[in-house]
Amino acid sequence: MNLFYLDEDLDKCAEYHVDKHIVKMPLEAAQLMCTTVWVDHVLGFVPRALNKEESKILNEHKAKIKDLPLEERPLCQYLPMMYNHPCTIWTRSSLDNFEWVHCYANALNDEYHYRYGKQHKSVVEVINKLPELKNTPRLGQTAFGMAMPDELKDAEDVINKYRNTDRSRVVDLIPNPFYSGQQYEDQMLEVTVGDLIQNAKNEIANAKAEQKKIIGDYRT
């Protein structure tokens, strides 16, 4: 669950998303917004982590409707989830945050349509049909809820931190997947967490093989 804030201009922000994210992130935006709708309508304005009792109330509502067809679910099609994720809390902390996610998702959908020639269902069938919030006030856009390791967070430089998160973890293995201040290019390298994990596994396997070879040579 995340919001990749890659540029203040949301059209450029969407352009900078790699293909896998342009497919995935509209769904995550819909999940964030649906969870916000549920919290707002059921619990009211809660701009913090939910406590156990509040989580229990949402879970009870979720249990009652989880087996219903999507189109028959009250409020919205997606169930509330990950109540206390940084991005979930941020989305419900101000009406302005909620509206930013809405604009972000629609920018992603425009880019999705440009690349694949179709609309993303999470945007057109879920996000754009959500009911209005009833209890969340307009407080301006609050400090962005960054979902990344603490050592990489910087509230004063959110955009560049999101652009460079992957690179900072594997400095010499891969280039930065985001072009700073440049338009999206079709040949942009797609880097996923799975890629990083596989790179690490390969490095470990190679190191073990080399170690066995050295031990074998020493024994002979």
pTM of the model: 0.70
Look up tokens 């497919």; give the residue: 23
Alpha-carbon gap, residue 196 to 188, rounded angstroms: 16
pLDDT given at position 174: 34
Q: Which of 58, 54, 55 is nearest to 38 (CA)?
A: 58
Structure tokens at 89: 């809390």
- pLDDT tens sequence across 165-198: 544 433 333 333 343 333 333 333 344 445 545 5
Q: Which of 112, 148, 121 is nearest to 1 (CA)?
A: 148
- pLDDT tens sequence across 81-120: 999 998 999 999 999 999 999 999 999 999 999 999 999 9
